[in-house]
Structure 1
Amino acid sequence: MKATDARSLHGHVVRELGRRIVVGDLRPGDVLPREEVLAESMEVSRTALREALKVLSAKGLIEARPKTGTRVRPKESWNQLDADVLSWRCASMPTDDFIEKLVEMREIIEPAAAAAASRRRTAAQLSKIDHAYRQMEAAQNSDEWAVADLSFHNAVLQATGNELVISLFSVIESALGMFFVLSAQTAGDFKYSLPHHLKVLEAIRRQQPEVARKAMQGMIADSQANLHKKRKGSAKKLPTLRSK
């Protein structure tokens, strides 16, 4: 499920209530205020509120029961792979926990994806990876770099030719985006990892699966080491990304 557009009225309610549930301000078993009270407190119409509650119900966060009202569901019922839920959870984690879990997820997915991309990529897919690399090379600031970095990793997943792997990007996009922004902001030189990306690109270009796998593993390990090293003397918080 794609991230909810927080700019709409019901999107604003989805984001605010969803965030409160995920961070624990509203706990499993808690009953939400009556519809008219909740709508007034959030300064939205009851129609917008109902639409928002439908979205949150689809994400597994709440359920409406006759006579007992709308309750927050247990965490195990939440759709943890929903783009919004994942984003809210990552944003609420202590930064070190976020880094460890993201690194572990990347280690499972991305080296294998790089190897698969090197075996199956088409000329057009290689061109997209190369274009993203050139955007990273030309980035003038850390924000531009993070956007290009995300495009690079998306292009690698697309080049696997595996629709199940490709679909993972929509799930992990928000979390990866936070990771890349944090990494770029933390690094003294936000382009420090450019050589690692070039190694991945060239391995995919030359169709060398094991070289691509090892290059991606090296990139992930290097970014983890950089973040841990830089964080020893700082308390930098996770960046907040707006839902698309």
Structure 2
Amino acid sequence: MSSMSRTYARRSLHSIIAHDLGRRIVSGKLSPGDILPTEAQLSETLDVSRTALREAIKILSAKGLIESRPKTGTRVKPRHFWNLLDPDVLSWHFPDPEPTFLYGLFETRLIIEPNTAAMAAERRSDSQLEAIHAAYIGMEQAEPGTEAVYLTDLDFHQAILDASENDFMKSLGMLIESALIGSFRLSSSGPKAHVQSLPLHKAVYQAIADRNPDEARNVMRNLLRQTMMQLRDQLGMSGPTDWDRITL
């Protein structure tokens, strides 16, 4: 079962409502400062009970997307209040994320993942190396255009986070799983993108196997930069962009 399926297969009614409203907010259909319809109106429009609706509102409030005040109603909060590391909030940015969101995601990955690969090269166990290798083989065997392409890619990066032996890195990987799946879907959608990425993935694995942290760091950085440029081209962003300024 895919990670997306694991996340949403057994959602409760109030979670489904929160998902629907959350997507509207993140996509811009509901803008910061907008006041949501009244509880009675939303209940009728969504054809749900007020109890389920109230629970959904609590979920969105906890994620920083909205706030409810007496007399003024429920209002969409500015983006800087949103918990962008929340798995749901991250997943709601896809399948049509803003380029600035993807830029921020890859900039964050460039800060974290090259150093994590270096840590894995120094600390990995034999079993952890085998997990990285198995994920890479899965990438080689994945049929282009199928779900296996980005799920094996995710497995590869998650296995490296695990081999870092840093609990914060492992937890961060779980937090951003939804965003990684979404970005992998986009970056592997081109006819040659998946195949083109394999040599650098293999080089990352080899550097970790050789216990060469400097090489692991450099190759992972190159891999992420390559992925960024492929994604930029697929999104049709021509000319200088913020992505060209990344020098990490």
The TM tier, using the shorter chain, reads 0.7 to 0.9
What whole-Å deviation, never above 9, does each CA across 1:148-194 have from its counterpart, x for those lacking one? Answer: 00110011011111111111112221221122111211142632211
Local SS of the residue matching 1:89: coil
- Following superposition, the deviation at residue 56 of structure 1 comes to 0.6
Where in structure 2 are the equivalents of 1:122-161 lying within 5 Å? 122-142=125-145, 143-161=147-165
TM-score, structure 1 normalization: 0.85
What whole-Å deviation, never above 9, does each CA across 1:107-156 have from its counterpart, x for those lacking one? Answer: 11111010011111112211211111111111123321111001100110
Q: Write the letter of the residue equivalent to 2:91.
A: S
Where in structure 2 are the equivalents of 1:1-244 lying within 5 Å? 5=8, 7-89=11-93, 91-94=95-98, 96-142=99-145, 143-188=147-192, 190-232=194-236
* Kept in 1: contact 2:187–2:193 (CA 8 A): no
Length, aligned pairs only: 232
Local SS of the residue matching 1:64: strand
**More contact order relative to length (CA 8 Å, sep ≥ 6):** 1
Distance (Å, rounded) in 2 between the aligned partners of 1:27 and 1:189: 34
Q: Write the letter of the residue equivalent to 1:47.
A: T
Structure 2 residues not aligned, in runs of 5+: 239-248
Local SS of the residue matching 1:44: coil
Structure 1 residues not aligned, in runs of 5+: 235-244
CA RMSD of aligned residues (A): 2.4
* Kept in 1: contact 2:193–2:230 (CA 8 A): no
Assess, with a 3 A threshold, how the Cα gap between structure 1 residues 197 and 80 changes in structure 2: closer, same or farther. same
Distance (Å, rounded) in 2 between the aligned partners of 1:52 and 1:169: 26
Assess, with a 3 A threshold, how the Cα gap between structure 1 residues 18 and 119 changes in structure 2: closer, same or farther. same
Structure 1 moving runs of 4+ over 6 Å? none
Distance (Å, rounded) in 1 between the aligned partners of 2:236 and 2:160: 32
* Kept in 2: contact 1:90–1:98 (CA 8 A): no
Q: Which moved further from structure 2: 45-54 or 100-109?
A: 100-109
